[in-house]
Every structure is written in C-alpha cells, then in structure tokens.
Amino acid sequence: MEMRRRQPIGVELVKRGIVSESDIEHALQYQKEHPSKKIGDILYILDACDPNILIEAIGDILGEKGIVLSQSLIKIKLTDYISLDIAKQNKAIPFEVSNGKIKICFANSVKSKEVENIRLLMLHKGLVMERYITFESIVDRILKSLEGVSRDDFNIEGKSDTVTNLVDSIIKTGIERRASDIHIEPMADEMRVRYRIDGELFTAARINKSKQQQVIGRLKAISNMHQEKQESQDGRILLYEDYNIRVSSQPNVYGEKFVLRLLKKNENIKNIFDLGFPTTETQLKNSINKKNSITIIAAPTGEGKTTTLYSIIDYLNSPEINITTIEDPVEIRIQGLNQIEIDENKLSFSSSLRTVLRQDPDIILVGEIRDTETGEIAIQAGQTGHYVLSTIHTIDAIEVITRLRKLGLSDYDISSTLATAISQRLVRKLCTKCRKERPYNEEEKKIITSLGEKYGVEFDLKGNTYDAVGCKHCNNTGYYDRIGIFEILDITDELKEEIMNGKSSLEIRKVALQQNYKPLIVDGIKKVTQGFTTLEELNKKLLFY
C-alpha cells in the first residue's frame, strides 16, 4: 500500500498496540533491503501480528476499509469487468457486485491515480465503486493465479515433450491466435512467453529455467543465427507455410531475449476504408492522388503506418503508373510494384532514393523519413514531378511540420511540397460475439458532448453504446482485431502561408481548426458512437479524461 508518511503510520500502529516498536525497527531494516515495499506490507510479510487486525487498523488510519482478500471472498469473474492487464496495471481486484455497486480491492491508497482510473472504468459500466485496501503481496498472488488460468487458453503446455516441439508449439499457437509478435524472455527463475495480440501483450506460458539454453539454441538454429555469439542478432524463420518470421535476439541480465515478428506472406491488403479511413472516396482522392507533392503519415511505432501506406499504394496502383517502394524491410509483396529492401542490400533510404529517381517513377514510397538527407531528397522528388509517400514519427498531423523543420528542411520547401499530413492510432475493436449493449450514462454523455462543443462536431448519442465483456473468441479481452482512428491535414493555401511565414505549430493548428481539420479524438469518438470501440479503449490511446 502506498503510505506517504511511513513513520507516522508505524507510530500510530504502535500507539494502538497493533505492533511493537521492535516490529517497526525490523520492518524498517527489511525496507532498506526491499525499498519498493511499504511498511504495512512488510509487517504482513514478517507476520508481525494478525493480518486482519493489521489491515483494519491501517485502513482506519487511512480512512479506508481494510480487508484481507482471499479467493473465497471473490464472488465474480474478474475478466467480466476489467481485463487482466488493467487489473495488473492498477493493482486492483473486483470481488463482489450487488445493487449497482462493485467492491474493488486495491494495493494502493485512495489518493492514487490507479483508483481513479478504475472508478471511471466502472462508472462507464454503470457501476458505483466501493473501495477496499489490502496488502500488495495478496493482490500480486491473486493476479498471478488468475494469469495462470488465462494462459490455459493458449494451450501451449501439453505439446512440449521435446524442446523442438515446445518451440514449434509456441510459434504455431501464436499464429493461430493472430499474434503479431512473440516475446520469449529469460527471467530470474523461468522463461516467459508473451503474445502481442491486437496491440496488447498477453502472458501465454512460463517455461522451466532448466530448458532455457535448449530453447535459445533451437531458436538460433531455425533462425540461421550464430550459436556461439552472445550478442544481438537478426534472423528469419522460414519453416512455416505462408509466414516469414523475423527474429531479433538481445542479451539481458538473465540470458538472451527473442522477439519473433510474424509476417504473413502474400497477405491481402486491406481496403483503405476498411482500415477506418474517415473520408469519402472523393475526399480521399483530393488528399492523396497528387503530383509534385509529398504525403506523410505520422504516428508512434506500432500504430499501423505501414499498413496505411500499403493500402494507399494499392488504391493508386494501376498498369499505367510506375510505383517504386523503398522499405526496411518489405513486409508485403504487391504485384506490379518495384519494391526495394534496403536491409538486404545494405543500402540507406537516401542512397536508394537517389537511384530510384533515375528509374522514371511516378510514385515513390519511402518507408520512413529518418534523417535530414532522406527528407531533403524526398522533398526534391516531390518538387520534380513525383508523388512521394512516406512516414515519420510524431504525435499528430500538425507536428509533421515541426518535425520536418527540426530535420533542417526550409519553410519554403515544406510549404511548397507537403500536400497532406495524416496521423493515426490503432484502437481495439469490440468483439461482436460478446459485446454488451447499454445506454450511455450521464458521465459519458458529458465527456462526448464537451468534446463535440470544443471541436464544433455533433455526435449522435441517441443510440446505445457497448461494454467489452470477454469470451473464448477474444481470449476474454472483450476485443477482437483493431481499427484505425485518423486525422487528416490537407495543406491549403492559408496553411502554406502560415508555414512560409514560420508560424508555430500552435498558430498553424488554430488556422487548421478553422478549416476542415479535425483532431484524432473526433474520429475516435465517432468510432465509439458507431459501436466499433469503447471510451475506455480510446482513452488508453489519447488520454482525454
């Protein structure tokens, strides 16, 4: 439990006769060796007194209800109300529901951010939260036991009579469960296997530490890595039909960690509108079908920039157009395109781009603008009759301009060449097999209405919204697959003038909002009102309440 004033808590417990002064001295000594532990938890670990008396006294001092939580007191299924990941993040365990109230036990004090996060989450489900506190070690133990139950859904154990079969089972299960990445991580006393599914990491299995070197050896063998090297390596696994698996190894203090990126060969490219692109076809053509210009897609890592680039290229692709891509690596091969993989050829984006300009291209896709040289050549390509598509790492579409400036590009070059900046995020889609329909509550209406007023948009709140529930189909998360939320900044003549005059991003944003620009949150709320996702999921990405 988080106790801001350690000594007064200890003094108060001594005054009440709960523990002795020597107990507090022992606890403080223990804390020197375990600085992350709180005094209350240490007294529980040291068995200084009856746990029920101790937690009730601590709760009384903090003005809270203290309880020694046990499995017998948990009357509900945790994942019916919050995901296991959220429970772990916030050290929170729902344990009983009745008459519109939900009892939730925390390992932190009521003043913490975690408590407020869960309160809002429950309120969105139409439940009033009743708070309890308990010892952190109890919360950790219960959550770990629940994690063990969730791992059964992945069904990895039981197929692992040999290390070869174990590694094969880990990869095949990841493929079956739509994982984008598999993390195989050496830890102090075990190896942990986690899958990233729809952007979220799930613990799938824990492997006995005694098998660690055999598992690492097997992964290196099938990835064509050097067995004897204890340093970072990259490799590929080509043993699985329809999959090209990129492998990265990285030594840590407990061994070598492996991350496997599962890339499906010849995967069908999603239509740009199926990704969630929020415009009409006419508006899309006005934004991307241009010459003498550059379109840049901006987002943090892992938010689907490359997928959107592929969809745009696929939309523009035709026999009459010469399209060349420069990628690191080529993740999807597209018929009719000239695709260059800079990693294999040991080339840089900038040197490859120079060569491509001599290949008579109409459209050039540059995987990422990483440095000044690539940015300058991309701008020059746009100024000499080509249409360039690329990505950059920024938080939104307006900040693309700031990022290009920081790379050293002139305001003239940016204003004359940048045609469109698109920013995006990926949010998890509600599982249609288990989502639960209900009316909007008053707090949700207030949040959505306030945002609508701020950006001059009227959202439809006449229908119902949905809660994430969880079922076998979605691994008990309540979500299945992801959808994009977008903001599109078309560089109008007014915005060109602002950029040319060196105006700040705040001033450019003000002018853009007066035109057709709408920030990410607007499209996000629309996706909520259309039943694609939830406010909770949207808030995880954009933090707007």
CATH at 42: 3.30.300.160
Residue 274 inside a domain? The answer is no
pLDDT for res 5: 46
Whether residues 509 and 429 share a domain: the answer is yes
In a domain, 389, yes or no: yes
Number of domains in the chain: 3
**250 DSSP β-pair partners:** 257
- Residue 108 located in a structural domain: yes
pLDDT per residue as tens, the chain (545 positions)? 444 444 568 888 988 899 998 888 888 888 888 888 888 888 988 888 888 899 999 988 888 899 999 877 888 888 778 877 788 888 899 999 988 899 999 986 655 777 888 888 888 788 899 999 999 888 988 887 776 444 445 656 555 578 999 999 999 999 998 999 999 999 999 999 999 999 888 888 889 999 999 999 999 999 999 988 888 999 999 899 888 899 999 999 999 999 999 988 777 788 899 999 998 888 888 888 677 899 999 999 889 998 999 899 989 988 899 999 988 877 777 888 898 888 655 677 888 888 888 888 999 998 899 899 989 989 989 988 899 999 999 999 999 999 999 999 999 999 999 999 999 999 999 999 988 899 998 889 999 999 999 999 999 998 899 988 878 788 778 899 999 999 999 999 999 999 999 999 999 999 999 998 999 999 999 999 999 999 989 988 898 87
Domain-ending residue, one of 203, 235, 264: 264
- CATH number of the domain to which 287 belongs: 3.40.50.300
Residue 53 included in any domain: yes
Main-chain phi, psi angles of 396, to 5 degrees: -155, 180
Residue 193 sits in a domain whose CATH number is 3.30.450.90
Query: Is the domain of 423 the same as that of 375?
Result: yes
User: Does residue 340 sit in the same domain as residue 426?
Assistant: yes
3-state DSSP: the chain helix, strand, coil percent, rounded to 5? 40, 25, 35
Token match 């439990």: residue? 1
Together in a domain, 253 and 290:
no
Task: Kindly state whether residues 67 and 22 are assigned to the same domain.
Answer: yes
Tell me if 1 is assigned to some domain. Answer: no
The amino acid sitting at 281 is: E
The end-to-end CA distance of the chain, in Å, is 25
Final residue before a domain boundary, out of 139, 171, 192? 139
Residue 470, SS3? coil
pLDDT at residue 148, as a whole number = 46
Q: Are residues 105 and 208 in the same domain?
A: no
Strands 243-252 and 233-237: antiparallel
Contact 460, 531 (CB under 8 A): no
Q: Which domain holds residue 119?
A: 6-139
Residue 393 inside a domain? The answer is yes
- Do residues 335 and 235 both lie within one domain? no
The model carries a pTM of: 0.72
Q: Assess whether 381 and 499 both reside in one domain.
A: yes
Whether residue 366 is contained in a domain is answered as: yes
Residues 384 and 411 in one domain: yes
Question: Is residue 114 located within the same domain as residue 61?
Answer: yes
In the DSSP assignment, the letter for residue 36 is T
Cα 472 to its chain centre, rounded Å, is 22
